[in-house]
Amino acid sequence: MKKIFVVSDIHGHCTLLQKALERAGFDDANEDHLLICCGDYFDRGTENAEVMKFFERIKHKILIQGNHEELLMKVFNTGKMQPHNYVNGTLQTLESFFDKYSIDPVDDSIDFSGKTRTVDRICDFISEMVDYYETEKYLFVHGWFPPQCLSAEDRLKASEEDWRKARWLLWTDHYNGERPLPDKTVVCGHMPTLHAHRIDPTRKQANADIYQGNGLIAIDAATFDTKQVNVLVIEDELRQS
């Protein structure tokens, strides 16, 4: 039995993350503790480099890729910023790792000269991430799972593109109060729990705390706005591979 600590949507707020995990009792030296992050490590905050360094040091971890990691990889692959990169906070991430003047204001190209080792390190960090993770009782994802994948076998067979699309799905668009999966509880981020009251009348008012529904746990605390990091603490058996 593992004690599992789950976070999501850190968005470049390393200090808040570390304090929240400390309050929750996470101890990486304890082999019975496992840290899972459900994506969106970067963007919007100012401690993006520190977030990566923190997770690099953690021994017992599962890293799930978020849509903001996908956005960052597109910048590396194209060498250019797009308008949505400014809106989504990718600019803050690049300024955390590279000189703020490395972005050309005329054509939005980026000068990575002399910084290729940093680019490789970030790409290696993202390459460690998985699309999802399952324990005996839980399915951990960023946005959602491919809607056609209701069984573990279906999820294994799903394509990379299926999971890429699922990364952008909002749990508020797919959860109707009934269990999403017959045999597991879905744990997700991506869409802040501030919006839970819109679909669940028992959620009396907007707040950023963890939302627990029927077969669903949503944990995105909208950290950039609220300065809150939710830590879900559960116990479960890991699945045998």
Is residue 201 pLDDT above 90, yes or no? no
> Which pLDDT score is estimated for 240?
64
Instruction: Read off the pLDDT band of 218 (50, 70, 90).
Output: very high
- 179 pLDDT more than 90: yes
183: which 2 tokens? 């045999």
R_g over Cα of the chain: 18
Q: Which of 149, 197, 185 is nearest to 169 (CA)?
A: 149
Total-model pTM:
0.95
Q: What is the pLDDT of residues 67-126, one digit of tens each?
A: 999 999 999 999 999 999 999 999 889 988 988 778 888 888 998 888 899 999 999 999
In the chain, what is the straight-line distance between the N-terminal and C-terminal CA atoms, in Å? Answer: 16
What is the chain's mean pLDDT, rounded? 94
When pLDDT is averaged across residues 27-53 and rounded to a whole number, the result is: 96
CATH class of the structural domain 2-236: alpha beta
For 131-149, write each residue's pLDDT tens digit: 999 999 999 999 999 999 9
pLDDT tens per residue, range 142-169: 999 999 999 999 999 999 999 999 999 9
What tokens does 65 get? 């890729």
Ranges of each domain in the chain: 2-236
Quote the pLDDT of residue 58: 97
pLDDT band at 171 (very low <50, low <70, confident <90, very high): very high
